[in-house]
Structure 1
Amino acid sequence: MPFSRRRLPFGFLVPAPRPVFLRLLFLLWPACLGLNAQTIALPTVVVSASRTAEAPEQVPFSVTALSGEQFRANPASSADGALRSVPGFSLFRRSDSLSANPTAQGVSLRGLGPSGASRSLVLLDGVPLNDPFGGWVAWSKVPRESLAAAEVVRGGGATAWGNAALGGIVQLLTESPGAAHGRLAAAYGSFATHNTEIAVSQPLGTGTLQLLGRDFASDGFTLVAPEDRGPIDHPAASEHRWLSGRWRQEIAGGAAFTLTARTYDENRNNGTPYQRNASQEDFVSVALAGATGSTFAWDAVAYAQDQSFASTFSSVNAARTAETPASDQFAVPAEAFGAAWTGTWKRDQARTSAGFDWRRVRGETREHFTFSAGAFTRERVAGGTQEMAGLFFLHERALAPELRTTFGGRLDAWRETDGHRRETERATGNMLRDDRYADRDGVELSPSAGLVWQPAAGWRVRAAAQQAFRRPTLNELYRPFRVGNVITEANAALETERATTAEFGIEHTRDALSLGATAFWNDLREAVGNVTLFRGPGSFPIVGFVPADGLGRQRLNLERTRVQGLELSARWTPHATLSLTADYLYNDAKVRAASVAPGLVGKRLAQVPRHVATFGAAWRPAQSFTLTPRVRFLGQQFEDDENLQRLGAALVVDLGVSYRLNERLELYLNAENLTDERIETGRSADGLFNTGSPRLVLGGLRFAW
């Protein structure tokens, strides 16, 4: 990693950028001060549903697009927090990325992905952001000051993107290097939280250099609810920083070449002295794009990612006065390589896109476990390799002036090799377990179809359906883990998840009012779940010894789960200075068949509330002054698969305030959870609650040039 390092009080190493990067920023700074502030106008297109730019009104699936300005104006301080204003978007748990363990930051769209391994694909400029080993998402890598747009496709996109897009697509798009401009944002607030982010774009010779960077740190807040806390509970401090450079240049034939490199480092304390984690990544990609007249365009990308993750877990006694180490996941090296090409042909009222993609990931966990007499006595190494390659095509055409159809198909071949799990006695080196799993492979078909009908001015009716698949992650296949007294075993025999999804929507726009309603239905087969098999104390097959108040679980396939519901939305702009939004999601997510655990049939899926509502506004009472309040209602949900551990409802009020001093300088204040609402984010088998962020206030400035 290209970092020098300094040490946090709780023992983790944190990177500091090399002086060469700082010198480069200072060299660019005087030139940037003399530039005029620029507003970058973005076309009203979305790219995530079909991998090609298309008008939102032509997409048959539910799509929400946020501009970079909307994203920055959101009162949330994190990228995932800003996306929570989108109907159906949530993380695995209610905690956001400011406090959640990275392994719990998987995405759930419409309740279809309630696990740490996302069932939705998250992309940053067309490259997967999902962790290669575990599928979760490091949201702290997402820039805000250089973000051009965010797109959320719920229930669609699998034909274009394949594996992991089973629940939909979330794509974050950064501004392309272009004319000279820049932004600097700095904020400070509650829990000694500070954040500085910079984005600079500067033409140099025949190309353009873009530098992006962030430095963030927070002392954090205590995760355990006040009534359950003990002396062992500490605030969950965190730090991260990253630096990204992009070079864009026009090349022969009107094509454009973009080289991107990023380095990233994050360290977290997870609420007690022993529990913490660290992540590091180096990333590079090369992208090419070109066009032949107005009828054919193409783009290609190749990327490589090298990362490492480390994490520790403990078991805390009932009085919460002491903790015992449970595992030390001291290294999780992972590599990902990928490439893709997409071509788009246009003719009259028809458009066809087709292409291929390939992705290969390799990773393993290396950890110490079984703590006895003051030391870990055993070591585990487990992991393997996954490879995916797919071909796809999508065709869209007008059947009539008011009716358009979209249909397509995708063929994927997957292969898993070198699956292994070795466990040894650390003192003697004796082999306790040496499992070598047979190589596996398969072929999956992912078709989709949709219709968009505009029967009259201001009306749009749409219907869409798709089939999709997801292979379990390396983490799900090979790594057992323990959190507190809950022990979860891996399962190398997990089958492929498959989903059939459908939706029907009606939208009406008249003058300043827009209304929408979407009914959706998802049939998910062989869903991977953490299934409770045993209750401690005692020794049990598969999971071994389970302590008192503990649970023994294993990752197992549930034959069938059903997620269906209704989305309602309203947008009203009664005046040029005021806009109001309201969104509601009703979600009925239940297990329909589970021979491995018949008692789960009819139970609601864990971590999926039945009711979610969001109300927002943007009010500009004066030309330089803007208020952006947001109110979110989170209905009751269950922590566990057996529906025994209920998490209460919450009403969360956020408020953003900004004041523009001139065309370059803006002051802002963001207040999350303004009323200090109790947000229950977790509940253990013995009844202990974890809670989300209390009131968090950050104030700062943005300077543009």
Structure 2
Amino acid sequence: MRKFVIAFGRRGATRLLTAVVVSVVTMVFLEVVALAAEVPELKEIVVTATKVQEKKENLPVSASVLTESDVRNIRSTFADEALKYLPGAYLKRAKFTATTSNVTLRGFPAENRTLVLLDGQPLNDAYGGSLEWSAISLERAEKIEVVKGPFSSLYGGYAMGGVINILTRTPGERQVSIRTAYGSHNTFCQDLSYSEKIGGLSFNLYGGKKWCDGRRTAYIIKSAKEGSGEVKVTGYKETKDKYGRPCYLIGDGGKNYWDQAQYGAKFSLSLREGSELSLRMAHNWRKYGYRDPRSYLRDENGNPVDEGKADIGGRYIKIKPYNFFKSYGIVRNDCYSLRYSTSLGEDVKLEGRASINDNLSWWVQAQNGATQQGGPGKIDWTEPNRTVEGELRLSIPFNLLGKGSILTTGLNYRSDRAASKRWELADWLDEESKKTREPYSRIGGKVQASAIYAQLRVKPIERLRLFAGGRFDWWRNYDASLSDEGNLTRYEASNSSHFSPTVGILYKPGFDLGLWRLERIRASWGTAFRPPTIYELYKTWSFWGRVYEANPELTPETSTSWEAGFDQTLLGTRVSFTHYQSRLENLIYYKLITEKHKQRQNAGKGTIEGIEIEVARSITPWLHLSGNLTYQHTEITENPGDPESVGKQFQLVPKGMHNIMLLFHKAGWSASLAWRYASKVYGSSDNSDTQEGVYGSYDPVNTLNAKIRYAVTEHLELSLAVDNLLDREYYEYYRAPGRSFFVQGEYKQ
């Protein structure tokens, strides 16, 4: 087995050493001033890890729980932002108006290798396995559970790095809630909620609105050629691209605006003691785009230049008006979930769930010849993008090798349907100006999947818990076709299957030496998989004369993972340590067929190895300190499809992350101060985008964020949040916001 080597580099090592020294000194100081401070017991109940209610301390895996209070303590407008301080979780979000934000776990790249649930309903969509984080109404969340590691044994595909489950509140007594917030860049967030309970029926109705004028984040950079131009210009700025090559900043695509509306409802009906029927409905709509694009180039009379050969002194830049135009589009999401649970006897529980996740999106891009007044364009439309899913689950307690054993078994069904279409537009400013009735390009397909799973937990002795389980998934790809400029290709149906086993062990030694108490030792092993998506199987496209071909013969990506760790209390401080490792196979990459032709193939293998350290301490009843550190080594070990990626770090996966948070709560006041760091990531598979501080680069994230809340009365709360307190400049492809603020008022009656 390859030796695990920590190789941060000089700058990374300095940051790591600083974080460790600060943590150690702080902990020692706190021990001197508060040796006898009580440590709050961890009583969180987790459902996601086993599909039955378990205390977090009784799990064989690393898990995190964010309560509603935890979320309110930090500035988090969207659900993905609430996860940014968790160990092993990496958030990629450069701005409020980000349309491709995602959260990844345990070094697994791309959001379709992490499963995201809403009350158990899968949100990874039918087309590409991605999801719309902004569609999740964070205001409705009661808690968020994050379990890391392979969970295909319970959840099937996508659960390679772990599972994120957002659990919404069950409506209670009558309550009216009004929340309004204002932030930098003319950002508004408003939410109205009404809850009521009438006999055994309780319900919640809500509506919300978010909009933002946005910032100028999409810069226009161009390389220059030797020779003379047609008009001498000023206003350009010398810079570099993400690969370190010289180029020129000549303009921007405008202010990136955002306009979003949400509404929904949740009904809960208590039929009898131990039985409940609930219905959740949620609608989300948002529009995004860019306003007022600018060319920075000026001629000798000070007029803007956006077309022709711009002379910059012995060199020239060739530009056209459409170079300054960025895309705009609409996203719509509709989620429905019907759930029934009942008790069939002492601790015997039956649950059923049926859900629909229906998505639509389109985006428009200007083409050569377009101007600010109109001209040619194209529109890409994804519809349908629908998942119909259902599950039936039974939990049965019994005595096997002692009391406390439980068997959980279930059936799962999922049906996916997706299609992507493209039209040419006569006017890129009018999405209705399609040149033809039928799209000139269309791909589509369907997937039907069934699964059966079982998991057994036994408790042979009081201090020992053993876990074992597995899931068999079978799926069928069918009714797939590609239509390209009148040429129709139909693909044959195909079947595939995968079995995902898992085992785990938890031991509570009860070893107590006063200042040091070893509470838990845990270990687990399992396999996981990700089936190829409809996009990967059938979407063939071209760009600048290069063809990127889909492959209906793709097989699932697979991983084998294990972790081991312990939880202890040392000098009054809770400390958790986890070591994890994964081996990935059949990774899907584009393989070079000819100079201008690539095809998706199962070509890659890779490894992940890492550690997570968590510390937490209550200094006083009103002051709490916590921190975590993640270091992981990711490496592509084999890839005939992309040989330059071998030996390189996974794309968009950091090596190191750490978070330190100080929480204060006393007499109606609450405050948080959080330091977040994530090392540089790479956007290219060969890690050649090494340049930092330029448009398109992915720089280290190193920010200090704060939030203060004050309960003015029992019903009214005010808050102020400031992100990036030190006003650091960095890029996550787009230039990240500088120091920014949010003020919020919330009234509940």
TM over 0.5: yes
Secondary structure, counterpart of 2:72 in structure 1: helix
Q: Is the 8 A contact 2:374 2:428 kept in 1?
A: no
Per-residue displacement from partner, 1:207-245 (whole Å, max 9, x unpaired)? Answer: 112113221111122223696654442121112111111
Determine the C-alpha separation between the residues in 1 that align with 2:328 and 2:374. Answer: 13
Matched, 1:100 2:152: no
Q: TM-score with structure 1 length normalisation? A: 0.83
Q: Which amino acid aligns with 1:107?
A: V
Q: Which residue of 2 aligns with 1:22?
A: none
In structure 2, relative to structure 1, the CA distance for the partners of 1:696 and 1:326 (3 Å cut) is: farther
Q: Which residue of 1 aligns with 2:155?
A: 161
Secondary structure, counterpart of 1:477 in structure 2: helix
Secondary structure, counterpart of 2:138 in structure 1: coil
Q: Is the 8 A contact 2:93 2:101 kept in 1?
A: no
Cα distance, 1:206 vs structure 2 = 4.0
* Equivalent residue in structure 2 for 1:407, among 465, 468, 492: 468
Matched, 1:590 2:590: no
Q: Which amino acid aligns with 1:623?
A: A
Q: Is the 8 A contact 2:651 2:681 kept in 1?
A: yes
Determine the C-alpha separation between the residues in 2 that align with 1:244 and 1:393. Answer: 34
Matched, 1:455 2:454: no
In structure 2, relative to structure 1, the CA distance for the partners of 1:260 and 1:526 (3 Å cut) is: same
Q: Which residue of 1 aligns with 2:404?
A: 349
Cα distance, 1:144 vs structure 2 = 2.6
Per-residue displacement from partner, 1:647-691 (whole Å, max 9, x unpaired)? Answer: 332311111111111221110111122223223222xxxxxxx22
Secondary structure, counterpart of 1:516 in structure 2: strand
Secondary structure, counterpart of 2:46 in structure 1: coil
Deviates more, 1:283-292 or 1:370-379: 370-379
Determine the C-alpha separation between the residues in 1 that align with 2:706 and 2:545. Answer: 38
Q: Which residue of 2 aligns with 1:503?
A: 563
Matched, 1:282 2:334: yes
In structure 2, relative to structure 1, the CA distance for the partners of 1:311 and 1:490 (3 Å cut) is: farther
Q: Is the 8 A contact 2:73 2:671 kept in 1?
A: no
- Count of equivalent residues: 626
Q: Which residue of 1 aligns with 2:492?
A: 438
Cα distance, 1:371 vs structure 2 = 10
Secondary structure, counterpart of 2:256 in structure 1: coil
Q: Which residue of 1 aligns with 2:184?
A: 190
Determine the C-alpha separation between the residues in 2 that align with 1:229 and 1:484. Answer: 22
Secondary structure, counterpart of 2:551 in structure 1: coil
* Equivalent residue in structure 2 for 1:340, among 391, 410, 433: 391
Q: Which residue of 2 aligns with 1:390?
A: 451
* Equivalent residue in structure 1 for 2:659, among 614, 617, 620: 614
Q: Which residue of 2 aligns with 1:63?
A: 63
Cα distance, 1:583 vs structure 2 = 1.0
* Equivalent residue in structure 2 for 1:420, among 481, 487, 494: 481
Secondary structure, counterpart of 2:54 in structure 1: coil
Determine the C-alpha separation between the residues in 1 that align with 2:215 and 2:545. Answer: 23
Per-residue displacement from partner, 1:77-128 (whole Å, max 9, x unpaired)? Answer: 322111011112224x4436x3322xx334311221x23x520110011111
- Supply the RMSD in Å over aligned alpha carbons: 2.9
Secondary structure, counterpart of 1:237 in structure 2: strand
In structure 2, relative to structure 1, the CA distance for the partners of 1:405 and 1:366 (3 Å cut) is: same
Q: Is the 8 A contact 2:367 2:378 kept in 1?
A: no
Q: Which amino acid aligns with 1:125?
A: D
In structure 2, relative to structure 1, the CA distance for the partners of 1:250 and 1:608 (3 Å cut) is: same
Q: Which residue of 1 aligns with 2:694?
A: none
Matched, 1:121 2:115: yes
Matched, 1:641 2:695: no
Q: Which amino acid aligns with 1:580?
A: L
Determine the C-alpha separation between the residues in 1 that align with 2:94 and 2:261. Answer: 21
Determine the C-alpha separation between the residues in 1 that align with 2:428 and 2:595. Answer: 23
Q: Is the 8 A contact 1:507 1:516 kept in 2?
A: yes
Determine the C-alpha separation between the residues in 2 that align with 1:403 and 1:676. Answer: 50
In structure 2, relative to structure 1, the CA distance for the partners of 1:487 and 1:504 (3 Å cut) is: farther
Determine the C-alpha separation between the residues in 2 that align with 1:667 and 1:517. Answer: 37
Q: Which residue of 2 aligns with 1:361?
A: 416
Deviates more, 1:433-442 or 1:482-491: 482-491
Matched, 1:110 2:171: no
In structure 2, relative to structure 1, the CA distance for the partners of 1:641 and 1:384 (3 Å cut) is: same
Determine the C-alpha separation between the residues in 1 that align with 2:741 and 2:550. Answer: 40
Matched, 1:237 2:257: yes
Cα distance, 1:556 vs structure 2 = 3.4
Q: Which residue of 1 aligns with 2:554?
A: 494
**Rg larger in 1 or in 2?**
2
Matched, 1:653 2:704: yes
Cα distance, 1:337 vs structure 2 = 0.7
Q: State how 1:518-597 maps to structure 2 within 5 Å.
A: 518-529=578-589, 533=592, 540-542=595-597, 554-597=599-642
Determine the C-alpha separation between the residues in 1 that align with 2:366 and 2:688. Answer: 24
Q: State how 1:143-158 maps to structure 2 within 5 Å.
A: 143-158=137-152
Determine the C-alpha separation between the residues in 2 that align with 1:135 and 1:89. Answer: 18
Q: Is the 8 A contact 2:374 2:427 kept in 1?
A: no
Determine the C-alpha separation between the residues in 1 that align with 2:125 and 2:608. Answer: 25
Deviates more, 1:651-660 or 1:298-307: 298-307
Determine the C-alpha separation between the residues in 1 that align with 2:427 and 2:552. Answer: 28
Determine the C-alpha separation between the residues in 1 that align with 2:78 and 2:151. Answer: 25
Determine the C-alpha separation between the residues in 2 that align with 1:582 and 1:340. Answer: 37
Q: State how 1:680-699 maps to structure 2 within 5 Å.
A: 680-682=731-733, 690-699=734-743
In structure 2, relative to structure 1, the CA distance for the partners of 1:229 and 1:312 (3 Å cut) is: farther
Determine the C-alpha separation between the residues in 2 that align with 1:564 and 1:199. Answer: 44
Per-residue displacement from partner, 1:476-533 (whole Å, max 9, x unpaired)? Answer: 22224578999754333322111101011111125741111111101111112456x4
In structure 2, relative to structure 1, the CA distance for the partners of 1:373 and 1:677 (3 Å cut) is: closer
Determine the C-alpha separation between the residues in 1 that align with 2:443 and 2:623. Answer: 55
Cα distance, 1:44 vs structure 2 = 2.4
* Equivalent residue in structure 2 for 1:602, among 647, 651, 664: 647
Q: Which residue of 2 aligns with 1:222?
A: 216
Q: Is the 8 A contact 2:80 2:102 kept in 1?
A: no
Determine the C-alpha separation between the residues in 2 that align with 1:315 and 1:565. Answer: 45
Q: Is the 8 A contact 1:309 1:333 kept in 2?
A: no
Q: Which residue of 2 aligns with 1:294?
A: 346
Secondary structure, counterpart of 2:44 in structure 1: coil
Structure 2 unaligned spans of 5+: 1-41, 220-236, 240-247, 294-324, 512-516, 691-697
Q: TM-score with structure 2 length normalisation? A: 0.78
Q: Which residue of 2 aligns with 1:307?
A: 359
Cα distance, 1:420 vs structure 2 = 1.2
Q: Which residue of 2 aligns with 1:11?
A: none
Q: Which residue of 2 aligns with 1:79?
A: 79
In structure 2, relative to structure 1, the CA distance for the partners of 1:481 and 1:68 (3 Å cut) is: farther
Cα distance, 1:62 vs structure 2 = 1.0
Q: Which amino acid aligns with 1:454?
A: K
Structure 1 unaligned spans of 5+: 1-41, 425-430, 544-553, 683-689
Determine the C-alpha separation between the residues in 2 that align with 1:372 and 1:237. Answer: 21
Determine the C-alpha separation between the residues in 1 that align with 2:653 and 2:144. Answer: 23
Sequence identity (%): 23
Per-residue displacement from partner, 1:423-466 (whole Å, max 9, x unpaired)? Answer: 11xxxxxx2x3221221111210100001111125421110011
Per-residue displacement from partner, 1:235-263 (whole Å, max 9, x unpaired)? Answer: 21112111111221122574211122222
Determine the C-alpha separation between the residues in 2 that align with 1:380 and 1:286. Answer: 36
In structure 2, relative to structure 1, the CA distance for the partners of 1:675 and 1:322 (3 Å cut) is: farther
Per-residue displacement from partner, 1:390-421 (whole Å, max 9, x unpaired)? Answer: 11111111132211111101111111111211
